[in-house]
Amino acid sequence: MIPEQMPSANMTVGRFAPSPTGPLHTGSLVAAVGSYAMAKRYRGLWLLRMEDLDTPRVVPGMADDILRTLEALGFAWDGGIIRQSDRTDAYQAALERLLASGDVYPCGCSRAEIARAATAPHDGEGEVAYPNLCRNGLPPGKEARAYRVKVSHVPVTFRDLVLGEKRYDLASVCGDFVVKRADGLFAYQLAVVVDDAEQGANQVVRGADLLSSTPRQIHLQRLLGFETPVYCHLPLVTGPGGAKLSKRDNALSLDSGRNLAADGGGLLLAALRFLGQQPPPSMSGASCREILAWAADAFDPALIPTVPSSLPFSP
């Protein structure tokens, strides 16, 4: 069990879940501001989770750098910090439940074998729909490499607070997807579902780059008997010419030389304007905490744009 503050039945519980694979950047700042304001506008909890499960990509010291940067920007989270690297027992328990119900099965396929056997075209993210090679049992001579969850052509539908009604046929988009990887690590999709359920997160505000993960997570939530949160996917921050920013772009790390004592308030105001909000001129020069307090009172999700754009701030 997660030793956290337990929310009341009707309390909004949001969360911010950065990955310590690089410093906080302008895109993750927008997600932090959006998730914080959306939770606090309902006087709810805002939890912090460090998604450090993909250990080969984790940069040593980066988790602490992200936390210090958030604190310098005036953020205060409720309760302690959850780290996915501490929670493999919880993910294993969920996997065993899915195995027992027959919803998950071992897969012995390599990526090359899947690519050769697939007949469905790649989706917009270059993904190949899994061709069900191991769905009815491991072929002779094959050993389990990963574990996959079964999906069907019954569409997963949900209403996003920004993007409206969304509908996905997982069997066509991705096919049976991995919940435990060949390297022994649990997949992001399963870990997030288990964590959100145990933390009581009922509001998920994050970048639109994670939109395709949502139907997969809803599918797992239903199989495990978990409630589905309200989802809100924020527009992506882009660079010059509309190019997607990499995690190395516009780093906000204190260790990178960024002066957050001078720039922090301007960055928060820029993030709020990016999200369609209209901070009054009197907020110029306000402290980070004052700006976040204004956002908690005045944030209007109906104003969030649906298209990506650049962040209007360049100190």
Residue 219 and residue 129 in one domain? no
Say whether both 147 and 55 belong to one domain: no
Same-domain check for residues 198 and 270: yes
Mean pLDDT in the chain? 90
The pLDDT value given to residue 215:
98
Q: Residue 314 — very low, low, confident or very high, per pLDDT cuts 50/70/90?
A: very low
Do 205 and 119 fall into the same domain? Answer: no
- Name the pLDDT band for 295 (thresholds 50, 70, 90): very high
Select from 160, 189, 218 the last residue of a domain. 189
The confidence score (pLDDT) of residue 111 equals: 87
Residue 20 lies in a domain: yes
At which of 171, 189, 207 does a domain end?
189
Whether 159 is in a domain gets the answer yes
Domain final position from 189, 221, 255: 189
| Least-confidence region, from 8-12, 114-118, 123-127, 136-140 | 123-127
> In this model, does residue 120 exceed pLDDT 60?
no
Query: What pLDDT band is residue 126 in, cutting at 50, 70 and 90?
Result: low
Of 239 and 279, the one with more pLDDT? 279
Q: What is the pTM (predicted TM-score) of this model?
A: 0.92
Residue 163: give its domain's CATH number: 3.90.800.10
% of residues, the chain, pLDDT over 90: 77
Are residues 61 and 144 part of one domain? Answer: no
pLDDT digits (tens, 9 = 90+) for 66-87: 999 999 999 999 999 999 999 9
Do 31 and 143 lie in one domain? The reply is: no
* One domain, residues 80 and 223: yes
What local confidence, expressed as pLDDT, does residue 35 receive? 98
pLDDT of residue 238: 87
Q: Do the beta carbons of residue 41 and residue 31 sit within 8 Å?
A: no
Under the banding of pLDDT at 50, 70 and 90, the label for residue 4 is very low
Is 179 inside a domain boundary? yes
Specify whether 247 is catalytic: yes
Average pLDDT on 199-212 reads: 96
Which CATH number covers residue 43? 3.40.50.620
Domain range holding 28?
13-88+192-303
Model confidence at 187: pLDDT above 90? yes
pLDDT for position 119: 62
Q: Are residues 67 and 147 both part of a single domain? A: no
**Structurally, how many domains does the chain consist of?**
2
